[in-house]
Structure 1
Amino acid sequence: MAVLLSFAAWMQWPLWPCTFAEATGLPCPGCGLTRATSALFHGEWRASWQFHPFAGGFLLGGIFVIAAALLPSERVETLAATVEGIERRTKLPAIFLVAVLCFGLLRMLGFWYQPEVGNFSGRFLKGPVSSKTQHTGQ
């Protein structure tokens, strides 16, 4: 889903607004992920980081899932067992989720760039990002 949304943002297709942002007036913990991933695809690392610092992690996860879907079934079982073992030892998925939620909370409190909520035609283009990214959405 994230890859499809990122492709749509890269193509500058209009996307639907965030329901959480519409209801509360605050950015959700995931607000900015699509624009951040699109910025990654364009090689705009700084802009991606400003939109959402966890976009790279979500993109890698999506690529991993797609790659696993293309493997033969016997390899998928081996890969799943390996990943499960790593997850149990490191607790990485739980740590990642907690970090994303903490980031979302800190952004809601104003400690990180906040997208302008209410201007859904280009709300993520209002912050301190590269001139190339600001120019592409409007």
Structure 2
Amino acid sequence: MRRQFSVPERIGGFGVLAGAAAVLWPTFTSSTGLGVPCLLLKVTGVPCPGCGLTTAAVALVHGHLAGAAAANPGIFGLAAVTVVALPLVLLRRLGVISAPAPWSDRARSRMGRVMLVAAAMSWAFQLHRFGFA
């Protein structure tokens, strides 16, 4: 049977990958000169809600909290879910706690609204950061 991961565990897994990439990213960019531009920003001049996440992740893994907050404070939410999800995955793997129960349609809908609000707040932050508001 295939292992089922809860939504927080999946987000935490993404956070682990983002953290690992953030550790390696400065070496890659300094040796190649390549980066990852925001396509929306490049095409329209308007930042997306995720603008600055790479910069924020790099700053966070190097302990520069102010730099991370200045680039995109949403990185702290991802980091928090990651820190909580890692022990959760370990405890489930060890059999201490059971597999996650599927979310109800109501819970999924509620989380969708929460994520929409979070994205809107992030976009408002980025618009302000880039001088649009």
Equivalent position of 2:66 in the other structure: 46
Q: Is 1:104 aligned to residue 120 of structure 2?
A: no
Q: Which runs of 5+ in 2 are unaligned?
A: 1-16
Q: Is the 8 A contact 1:39 1:47 kept in 2?
A: yes
Equivalent position of 2:79 in the other structure: 59
Q: Is 1:24 aligned to residue 44 of structure 2?
A: yes
Same amino acid, percent of matched pairs = 23
Equivalent position of 1:120 in the other structure: none
Q: Is the 8 A contact 2:25 2:58 kept in 1?
A: yes
Equivalent position of 1:9 in the other structure: 25
Corresponding residue pairs, total: 108
Cα distance change, pair 11–65 in 1 and its aligned pair in 2 (3 A): farther
Q: Secondary structure at the match of 1:80?
A: coil
Q: Is the 8 A contact 1:8 1:15 kept in 2?
A: no
Q: Is 1:114 aligned to residue 119 of structure 2?
A: no
Distance in 2 of aligned mates of 1:11 and 1:79: 38
Return the offset for 1:48. 0.8
Equivalent of residue 95 in structure 1, options 100, 105, 114:
114
Amino acid at match of 2:122: F
Amino acid at match of 1:60: A
Q: Secondary structure at the match of 1:43?
A: coil
Return the offset for 1:103. 2.4
Q: Which runs of 5+ in 1 are unaligned?
A: 116-138
Amino acid at match of 2:18: A
C-alpha root-mean-square deviation of aligned residues, in Å?
3.6
